[in-house]
């Protein structure tokens, strides 16, 4: 028997095997790493005369009488047992007493089972909370531990050994002492389901643990059955338990302090394995071959043509990227920047360095709208640049005239750098032409959605891959780009979702990290206001203000979480062909905040601050019976109709934009909005990233109290991009003092993305912030917490780095090498729980 042994080979109860499998418990190792989320406080043992109403206690007793009473007023049975604790009370220096144990059930089978355990004359240990009924002490549905008839001669041996008596019944414990120890010690509490209770999960895990270290099976010590993963010097230096001891302390703790020490040990193990895997991945990437891109002439020509000066931060990051790309090993860099900090210019400079060196570059965007916007923006910015490759070879200057650049907004023939659009929603003929250009190996810039990860996309001359909004893509998808070319492409990963440095060190420890903290000149702070929806006067003043801005030639966004009132869910249509949906899925009743397949869905329900476990890659219900039901979420169709009827917007034409709109409609709507023909755009969060209309100065976000902080920060960044004064209005129905209101106050009081990200992590959890549900993988990091365990992560990284410097292949640490391999194979997303 080992940690890899399937639980199905050890259990005869197939229903329980199925229930455990539904929790992800397939092997013994899975069971031992299914950690409890808390441990109960120790239960004191007291005689009945010491009982305190409402306080849990345990005692030993003998059953004096038992009766089953049918309940005439309603179906079912009431079982009453009278027990006497005289013998146990004498050990505590007092006289005995009687009490009644009461059980209710509709099932005769359950009543018969309890009756068998409480037959007259049997010895039992009882644990429960005493109450008073009819002037007598009573325990309702207490826990029962049956004691073997030989209790008086018990030797205190293992409480899990069952001793049959003459009636062939099986007992829970050999002695009263064992029984009391069993119910009084702290007990783990596990996340359970309707198929299996926490008690049965605990029982199963204990059975596996005891069987694994059973001396009768030839196991000399627990350490032989459960080898340690942490290197011995690290474990000793940190004062941690052996892995076998930690599992025992977690699943069968003698005290709460022992439980905490066991959890700390396994948490550090996770940090060490994670950081070792990241550092190894970084080493292996540096050993891969990549195409060097030394020619920066085209890049410099582009920078010189810009109508503005780059910030010092942009210039510095561009130089760092240029140095990385001149090497023959792949660059791996994460570029984090505030909303509007100029990441696109930095990325375009890198792509032009690749094209100017005679290679291809691909920019992967999370949505069709953003991809089309990138194509239009890049097409204008590179207009007139003449790209040359190796040997001064002209770059496919006729790509546009050949119909390969299938973008209606482009000025045909305006530039010599081909910019190719590739999305899953394109017409077949245009898609084939785009794929043909990529497969030909011609130096060009390819802007793609998830279509870049498909098998049909091949780019044999690919030298640079830029991933925009990295948290919309899993690591597995990013890695798939490595197989598109003969050599590994340089990788630039960008995000405007602020990630605290400690979090970035955990998720992206295999990447070099650059920060753009300086906003381009001319950007003015966005003034943010929380507007209670019930405050009609303030709402009217807000709409009057928006109309005034429209009258001077500016634009306004209005954001809603749902498409129309008939939707059971929010805008989840999205770019189906690209495998990505809209952002922010809601259930109409707001009982569910589902994430599932939806890219970047971090809008949460009323219980948004209570996170779904990070290990779950699918959606889950988060309900709170104590919270009142909130009204339905606002929809695009509803709000567009309401606003168009307001006197403030008389004569103003509205446009709507959702993920359900086809590509042609999206392009037309955005063009009309940018031109001012429809100065108010009512949309879902499809506009969250990348949409750039300089004239937009106002954004009104309905149901803002249901969004995550990072998403609100992203949405707010859609305005003020043209140097004008700008405003963000957060329409809220949150109760005063509620967590939702506290989140909005964070957004109102800060424009600092790092500060907002830190608050978002603390409110909602790391997995939600980075969109772990979109990764397609399941994290093995079950205990590590980014915010609270930052120091532990840093320590583990330092020690892992020293270990790898001495033993790069971990040849001297076979158990650690195996754990790192398992982690890398199944958990590339490097997710963490809160």
Mean pLDDT of 514-539: 82
Mean pLDDT of 188-212: 89
Task: Let me know how long the chain is.
Answer: 834
For 483, residues 6+ apart whose C-beta sits below 8 A from its C-beta are: none
pLDDT at 2: 84
3-state SS string over 319-383? HHHHHHHCCCCCCEEEEEECCCCCHHHHHHHHHHHHHHCCCEEEEECCCHHHHHHHHHHHHHHCC
pLDDT higher for 337 or 633?
633
Rounded to a whole number of angstroms, the CA Rg of the chain reads: 32
The answer to whether residue 699 scores a pLDDT higher than 50 is yes
Nearest-5° Cα angle at 570, 566 to 574: 115
Closest CA to 388 of 324, 296, 318, 486: 296
> Residue 719 in contact with residue 680, Cβ under 8 Å?
no
pLDDT at 86: 93
Q: Which of 638-647, 788-797, 819-828 has the highest mean pLDDT?
A: 638-647
Helix 198-212, helix 243-251: angle, nearest 10: 150
Strand residues in 358-484 grouped as ranges (E): 360-364, 419-422, 445-448, 462-467
Mean pLDDT of 686-711: 83
For 197, residues 6+ apart whose C-beta sits below 8 A from its C-beta are: none
Mean pLDDT of 305-332: 89
pLDDT higher for 474 or 464?
464
Residues 400-420 pLDDT 10s: 333 333 443 333 344 478 899
Parallel/antiparallel/unpaired status of strands 462-467 and 490-495: parallel
Q: How confident is the model at residue 315 (pLDDT cuts 50, 70, 90)?
A: very high
Parallel/antiparallel/unpaired status of strands 136-140 and 512-516: unpaired
Mean pLDDT of 415-432: 85
* SS3 at position 415: coil
pLDDT higher for 398 or 328?
328
pLDDT at 354: 94
Got the DSSP string for 555-608?
EEEEE-SBS-TT-SBSS--SBGGGTB--S---BTTSSB---TT-TT-----TTT
What token pair was written down for 239? Answer: 């004062």
Q: How confident is the model at residue 150 (pLDDT cuts 50, 70, 90)?
A: low
pLDDT higher for 818 or 617?
818
The answer to whether residue 608 scores a pLDDT higher than 70 is no
Parallel/antiparallel/unpaired status of strands 130-133 and 136-140: antiparallel
Q: How confident is the model at residue 738 (pLDDT cuts 50, 70, 90)?
A: confident
> Residue 749 in contact with residue 551, Cβ under 8 Å?
no
The answer for 293, left when phi > 0, alpha when psi is -120 to 50, beta otherwise, is beta
Q: Which of 345-349, 484-488, 581-585 has the highest mean pLDDT?
A: 345-349
Q: What is the mean pLDDT of the chain?
A: 78
For 754, residues 6+ apart whose C-beta sits below 8 A from its C-beta are: 498, 500, 501
Nearest-5° Cα angle at 104, 102 to 107: 140
Residues 47-103 pLDDT 10s: 999 999 999 999 999 999 999 998 876 788 999 999 999 999 999 999 999 999 999
pLDDT at 659: 79
Residues 710-727 pLDDT 10s: 788 888 888 887 778 899
Q: Burial-class residue 232 by CB neighbours within 10 Å (0-12, 13-18, 19+).
A: exposed
Q: Burial-class residue 806 by CB neighbours within 10 Å (0-12, 13-18, 19+).
A: exposed
pLDDT at 469: 67
Q: Which residue has the tokens 């998403």?
A: 711
Strand residues in 487-539 grouped as ranges (E): 490-495, 512-516, 526-532
Least confident of 49-63, 346-360, 437-451, 519-533: 519-533
The answer to whether residue 626 scores a pLDDT higher than 50 is no
The answer to whether residue 267 scores a pLDDT higher than 90 is yes
Distance from the first to the final alpha carbon of the chain: 34
Q: Which residue has the tokens 């802007």?
A: 447
Question: Which neighbouring-strand residues pair with 514?
Answer: 335
Got the DSSP string for 282-312?
HHHHHHS--------HHHHHHHHH-SSPPPH
- Domains located in the chain, CATH noted: 48-184 (2.40.50.140), 227-238+250-287+779-834 (no CATH), 297-516 (3.40.50.300), 526-774 (3.40.50.300)
Q: How confident is the model at residue 741 (pLDDT cuts 50, 70, 90)?
A: confident
Q: How confident is the model at residue 573 (pLDDT cuts 50, 70, 90)?
A: very low
pLDDT at 82: 95
pLDDT at 500: 63
Mean pLDDT of 531-541: 92
Mean pLDDT of 136-161: 68
Question: Which neighbouring-strand residues pair with 133?
Answer: 136
pLDDT at 391: 36
Kindly list the distances between the CA atom of residue 690 and the CA atoms of 256, 343, 579, in Å, as whole numbers in the listed order: 50, 10, 19
pLDDT at 454: 83
Number of helices (H), then strands (E), belonging to the chain: the values are 26, 22
The answer to whether residue 152 scores a pLDDT higher than 90 is no
Q: How far is CA 365 from the centre of its chain?
A: 20
């Amino acid at each position: 028997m080992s940690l890899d042994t399937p639980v199905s080979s050890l259990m005869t109860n197939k229903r329980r095997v199925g229930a455990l499998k539904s929790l992800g418990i397939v092997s013994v190792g899975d069971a031992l790493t299914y950690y409890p989320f808390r441990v109960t406080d120790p239960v004191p043992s007291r005689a009945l005369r010491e009982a305190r109403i409402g306080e849990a206690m345990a005692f030993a007793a003998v059953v004096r009488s038992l009766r089953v009473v049918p309940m005439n007023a309603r179906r079912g049975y009431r079982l009453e047992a009278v027990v006497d604790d005289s013998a146990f009370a004498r050990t505590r220096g007092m006289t005995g007493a009687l009490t009644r144990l009461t059980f209710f059930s509709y099932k005769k089978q359950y009543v018969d089972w309890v009756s068998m355990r409480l037959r007259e004359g049997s010895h039992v240990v009882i644990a429960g909370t005493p109450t008073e009924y009819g002037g007598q002490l009573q325990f309702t549905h207490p826990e029962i531990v049956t004691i073997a008839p030989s209790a008086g001669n018990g030797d205190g041996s293992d409480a899990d050994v069952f001793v049959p008596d003459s009636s062939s019944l099986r007992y829970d414990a050999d002695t009263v002492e064992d029984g009391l120890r069993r119910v009084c010690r702290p007990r783990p509490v596990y996340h359970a389901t309707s198929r299996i209770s926490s008690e049965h999960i605990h029982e199963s895990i204990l059975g596996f643990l005891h069987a694994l270290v059973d001396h009768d099976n030839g196991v000399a010590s627990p350490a032989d059955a459960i080898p340690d993963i942490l290197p011995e010097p690290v474990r000793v230096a940190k004062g941690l338990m052996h892995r076998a001891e930690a599992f025992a302390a977690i699943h069968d703790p003698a005290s709460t302090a022992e439980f905490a020490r066991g959890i700390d040990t396994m948490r550090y193990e996770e940090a060490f394995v994670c950081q070792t895997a990241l550092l190894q991945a970084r080493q292996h990437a540096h050993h891969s071959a990549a195409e060097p891109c030394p020619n920066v002439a085209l890049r410099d020509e582009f920078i010189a043509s810009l109508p503005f000066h780059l910030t010092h931060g942009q210039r510095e990051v561009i130089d760092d990227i240029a140095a990385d790309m001149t090497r023959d090993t792949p660059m791996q860099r994460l570029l984090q920047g505030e909303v509007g900090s100029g990441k696109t210019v930095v990325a375009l400079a890198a792509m032009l360095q690749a094209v100017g060196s005679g290679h291809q570059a691909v920019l992967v965007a999370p949505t069709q709208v953003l991809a089309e916007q990138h194509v239009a923006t890049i097409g204008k910015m590179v207009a007139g640049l003449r790209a040359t490759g190796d040997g001064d070879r002209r770059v496919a200057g006729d790509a546009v005239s050949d119909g390969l650049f299938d973008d209606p907004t482009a000025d045909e023939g305006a530039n010599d750098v081909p910019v190719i659009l590739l999305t899953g929603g394109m017409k077949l003929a245009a898609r084939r032409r785009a794929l043909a250009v990529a497969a030909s190996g011609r130096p060009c810039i390819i802007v793609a959605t998830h279509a870049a990860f498909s098998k049909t996309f091949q780019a044999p001359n690919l030298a640079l891959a830029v991933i925009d909004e990295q948290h919309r893509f899993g690591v597995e998808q990013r890695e798939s780009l490595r197989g598109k070319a003969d050599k590994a492409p340089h990788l630039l990963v960008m995000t405007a979702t602020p990630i605290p440095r400690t979090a970035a060190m955990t998720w992206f420890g295999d990447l070099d990290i650059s920060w753009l903290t300086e906003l381009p000149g001319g950007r003015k702070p966005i003034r943010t206001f929380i507007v209670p929806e019930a405050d009609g006067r303030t709402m009217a003043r807000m709409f009057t203000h928006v109309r005034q801005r429209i009258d001077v030639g500016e634009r306004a966004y209005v954001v809603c979480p749902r498409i129309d009132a008939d939707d059971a869910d929010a805008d989840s249509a999205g770019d189906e062909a690209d495998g990505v949906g809209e952002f922010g899925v809601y259930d109409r009743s707001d009982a569910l905040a589902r994430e599932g397949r939806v890219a970047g869905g971090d809008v949460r329900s009323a219980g948004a601050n209570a996170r779904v476990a990070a290990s779950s890659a699918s959606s889950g219900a988060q309900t709170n019976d104590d919270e009142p039901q909130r009204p339905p979420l606002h929809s695009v169709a509803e709000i567009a109709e309401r606003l168009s009827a307001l006197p403030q917007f008389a004569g103003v034409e509205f446009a709507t934009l959702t993920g359900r709109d086809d590509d042609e409609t999206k392009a037309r709507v955005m063009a009309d909005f940018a031109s001012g023909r429809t100065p108010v755009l009512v949309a879902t969060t499809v506009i969250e990233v990348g949409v750039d209309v300089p004239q937009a100065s106002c954004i009104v976000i309905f149901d803002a109290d249901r969004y995550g902080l990072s998403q609100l920060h992203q949405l707010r960044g859609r305005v003020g991009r043209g140097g004008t004064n700008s405003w963000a209005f957060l329409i809220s129905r949150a109760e005063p003092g509620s967590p939702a209101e506290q989140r909005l106050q964070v957004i109102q009081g800060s424009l600092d993305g790092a500060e907002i990200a830190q608050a978002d992590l603390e409110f909602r959890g790391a997995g939600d912030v980075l969109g772990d549900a979109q990764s397609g993988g399941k994290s093995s990091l079950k205990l590590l917490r980014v915010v609270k365990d930052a120091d532990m992560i840093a320590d583990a990284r330092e020690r892992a780095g020293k270990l790898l410097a001495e033993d790069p292949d971990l040849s001297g640490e076979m158990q650690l090498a195996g754990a790192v391999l398992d982690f890398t194979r199944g958990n590339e997303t490097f997710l963490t729980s809160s």
